[in-house]
Amino acid sequence: MIRWIALCIAGACIASARTALGAEPPPPVTPVVTLTASATASIPNDRMYAWLRAEAENPDPARAAAEVNARMAKALARAKSAAGVEVATSGYSSYQVTDKNQPMRWRMAQTLSLESADFATMSAVVSKLQADDLMLLSGMNFAVSPDARRKAEDALTQQAIKAWQTRAQNAARGFGSDGWRTGKVTIQTGDYMRPQPMLRTMAMAASAPPVAVEAGNTDVTVSVVGEAVLDPPRTR
């Protein structure tokens, strides 16, 4: 019995040895590296935005509302008469104001939004609305138009892709690989958001010249983030 058990163990050992000798070596590990490359350009701002508001206070809410409505109607007519200026109203508000040792009163306000690619016309309209129509300037801003941004992003995408490919090639060379292939890749662009008014009041005297403006530039960036699957490293 003991001899039979010994023979079984010996046979199992021989079979295991034969299996190990005949087994194929494990496949080589394929390196995968994640790379990032970006391209940026400074684009001239080609859109001007301005926000003005009609505001009034009165113990009688109806009178305060009437004053705001009249002022806004006059401002709307002036703004709409300017060629190339887009006009919209928003943000009508009404609330009570109570100050110490002061009678309670109502404050009414409504916002007028202007947008244009003609900076000279816009600055003249804004100046007139303040001086002649008693509108309060909440803020101004400049931005790149969606069309100009899209055109810039298309060109930057190609630059970012080429830069990413160069990094992938360098990574393959550094890991001792003969080549590489593209894995999962994403292209990221900055989200476009319409400019918002700055929360401050800017006053202007009736005799003041038109608002001086300098549009400046906006940086537009496109990034490529993805995997480069490298060929198995060369056997040294």
> 48-143 has which fold?
Alpha-Beta Plaits (3.30.70)
How many Å apart are CA 149 and CA 142, to the nearest integer? 13
Q: Which pTM was predicted?
A: 0.73
Question: Which residues have C-beta within 8 Å of that of residue 224, sequence separation ≥ 6?
Answer: 36, 37, 38, 157, 160, 161, 163, 164, 185, 186, 187, 188
β-bridge partners, 186? 225
Give the whole-angstrom CA distance, residue 13 versus residue 3. Answer: 15
Alpha carbon distance 131, 111 (integer Å): 17
The pLDDT-based confidence of 91 (bands split at 50, 70, 90) is confident
- pLDDT the model gives residue 178: 86
Torsion angles phi and psi, residue 128, rounded to 5: -65, -40
Q: Which of 71, 108, 74 is nearest to 92 (CA)?
A: 108
Is the distance from CB of 3 to CB of 179 less than 8 angstroms? Answer: no
Percent of the chain with pLDDT over 70: 77
The tens digit of pLDDT for each residue in 68-88 reads 999 999 999 999 999 999 999
How far is it, in rounded angstroms, from Cα 42 to Cα 46?
12
Reply yes or no on whether the pLDDT at 45 is more than 60.
yes
**202 phi, psi to nearest 5 deg:** -120, 110
- As a whole number of angstroms, the distance between CA 127 and CA 208 comes to 8
What mean pLDDT comes out for the span 200-217? 60
pLDDT for res 211: 67
Question: Domain-by-domain residue ranges, the chain?
Answer: 48-143
- Position 20 confidence tier, pLDDT thresholds 50, 70, 90: very low
pLDDT at 218 over 50: yes
pLDDT, average across residues 88-112: 90
What is the Cα–Cα distance from 194 to 53, expressed in whole angstroms? 19
